[in-house]
Amino acid sequence: MTFLEGLLWLTLNVYHEARSEPEIGQIAVAHVTLNRAAKRHLTIKNVVNQPYQFSWIQQKKSYIPDDPQAFLACMQSVYIALNTIDVTAGSTYYHLDKVNPYWASDYTFVQQYGSHKFYK
């Protein structure tokens, strides 16, 4: 996989998971994606496409962004994430603060950014 392919999949994940979040929330989602890929020794594309890992993969009929301005903002957040210290302190999971997933109690809560809670 090329760097550009990884960048595209990372940006798509941030776009579909967190485009309405503040920049710090988008950066945090990017860090979680990077952390999962590193921990599982997978490419970004493979970690994003794993079943039941990111909700948009199961829900979307098309991966093509319908808001180019938001996509570019997400790409900027990805660039920042790639060039800064991990704001999630190694988190590999997150969820919307509106839900209480069964797995959350198995992990250590790290921080909330925007409407997502992050865990490791």
Q: What CATH number does the domain containing 52 carry? A: 1.10.10.2520
Number of structural domains in the chain: 1
Domain assignment present for residue 104? The answer is no
Reported as a single tens digit per residue, the pLDDT across 40-96 is 999 999 999 999 899 898 887 778 899 999 999 999 999 999 999 999 999 999 999
pTM as predicted: 0.95
Domain assignment present for residue 118? The answer is no
Residue 1's pLDDT band (cuts 50, 70, 90): low
Domain assignment present for residue 93? The answer is no
Q: What range does the domain containing 61 cover?
A: 3-88
Task: Give the range among 1-10, 78-87, 95-104 with minimum mean pLDDT.
Answer: 1-10
C-beta contacts of 40-49 below 8 A and 24+ residues apart: 43/1, 43/5, 43/6, 43/9, 44/1, 44/5, 44/6, 44/7, 44/9, 44/10, 44/13, 45/1, 45/5, 45/6, 45/9, 48/9, 48/10, 48/12, 48/13
Domain assignment present for residue 105? The answer is no
pLDDT at 78: 98
